[in-house]
Amino acid sequence: MNETPRNKILFVDDESPFLDSIRRVLKNKSDIWEIDCVERGVDALLATVRTDYDVIVTDITMPGMSGFELLSRLREADRTRDTPVIVLTGNAEHNLKREALDLGATDLLTKPVHPADLISRLRSALRIKECQDHIKEHNRTLELKVQERTAELEASRLEIIWRLAKAAEFRDEETGNHVIRVGCYCRILSEKMNMPRDFTETLFLASPLHDIGKIGIPDSILLKPQDLTPEERRVMEKHCEYGAEILLGRPHGLMIYSGRQDPDRMTAGLSDHNPVIEMAARIALHHHERWDGTGYPHRIKNTGIPISARIVSLADVYDALSSKRPYKDALEPDQAFRIICEGSGTQFDPEICRTFEENIDEIRSVQEELSG
């Protein structure tokens, strides 16, 4: 049969006779209370490291570490921050009583201590400790539930993102795992460029949505095996703005660019503070811009193009070159690699190209694993 654990109480006082009297007074409570006694504040701190006390009772005036210093140290430590502390004071020590309360004392007990008062105050402090423990346990349970629910919501959100990305991908007949590979390439490039971890993870989630705007392109253009006419090309290029519109839920007319050195203005403040959707919208809008400024839809150049879109641009083109599409056969990986390298400084950011070249083996490993 399991026994109910005894409450642990620590007394701190430099007077041995006082501590002896405490032991005698509380001897008949030994079945429910476990009493420890120390004569120095430093010993009390050491004791709290070894044992979780339910109540601590300390005198104020002690040599070495005073009761006030002990109380302050107890309140600073995570282990004892909420432990009830009863401070022993003399009748004339009114100022000390106020200071003790200011430092976080739970209760005050005046010397000489009457046994009935001591037991009553200890019981009260133990009830406080019991309530605190109950609240902490309740909060821990709630926190776990919140974490579980948050994880479920995050998983659902990621599921929606991937399904949305695949919806656009299915418009092309032979793209396979294109959006998944692009996401993996982007994560490799971002990590090797020492981008912040949050940025890298957000890029990994957002990049598969780069072509979501193709949902708005007619099949007659999207799946046309021959070269597009100039008019058809202009319609195809609209997929960038369509993508931003789909992701932001706002008319793409709001994103018309007026200040050509500040591309963020087109999407700033329109994402409802969702970092993945915000980045995905920027990528969708800008992933066909070129380093030399000859891309579309806004002919932004160099670092005026968001870094996320610059990374996706290279990853997307490399995988597109290596993949079969309705209008072309897949190139050999070495040929696709050379085309990317030749585009450094014109189509692609030179730094991203260098990172791509230095890590092509890892990228090809992912490409082979996710082929099909």
Biggest alpha carbon–alpha carbon distance for the chain: 102
Of 81-95, 109-123, 151-165, highest mean pLDDT: 109-123
Q: For residue range 5-28, what is the model confidence (pLDDT) as tens digits? A: 889 999 999 999 999 999 999 999
pLDDT at 316 over 90: yes
Amino acid at 80: T
How far, in Å, CA of 272 to CA of 155, rounded? 19
132 or 371: which leads in pLDDT: 132
How far, in Å, CA of 130 to CA of 311, rounded? 56
User: Residue 42's pLDDT is what?
Assistant: 93
Residue identified by tokens 């030399």 is 292
Q: How far is CA 170 from the centre of its chain?
A: 32
Structure tokens at 143: 């926190």
Cβ atoms of 182 and 316 closer than 8 Å:
yes
User: Residue 256's pLDDT is what?
Assistant: 37
* Mean pLDDT value across the chain: 85
* Non-local CB neighbours of 338 within 8 Å, separated by 6+ positions: none
User: Residue 352's pLDDT is what?
Assistant: 97
Cβ atoms of 10 and 53 closer than 8 Å:
yes
pLDDT at 350 over 70: yes
pLDDT at 194 over 80: yes
Q: Which of 192, 214, 224, 238 is catalytic?
A: 214
Q: What percent of the chain has pLDDT over 70?
A: 86
Among the ranges given (223-227, 249-253, 306-310, 349-353), the one the predictor scored with the smallest mean pLDDT = 249-253
Dump the DSSP string for 356-370.
HHHTHHHHHHHHHHT
How far, in Å, CA of 163 to CA of 55, rounded? 56
pLDDT at 98 over 90: no
Q: What percent of the chain has pLDDT over 90?
A: 52
Mean pLDDT of 128-140: 86
pLDDT at 265 over 80: no
User: What is the topology classification, in CATH, of domain 170-369?
Assistant: Hypothetical protein af1432 (1.10.3210)
Cβ atoms of 284 and 240 closer than 8 Å:
yes
144 or 44: which leads in pLDDT: 44
Among the ranges given (135-139, 173-177, 199-203, 261-265), the one the predictor scored with the smallest mean pLDDT = 261-265
Domain boundaries, given as residue ranges, for the chain = 7-140, 170-369
Structure tokens at 92: 């004339």
CATH number of 7-140: 3.40.50.2300
By CB atoms closer than 10 A (0-12, 13-18, 19+), residue 326 is middle
pLDDT at 215 over 50: yes
pLDDT at 197 over 70: yes
User: Residue 261's pLDDT is what?
Assistant: 41
How far, in Å, CA of 288 to CA of 310, rounded? 9
Residue 166 designated active-site? no
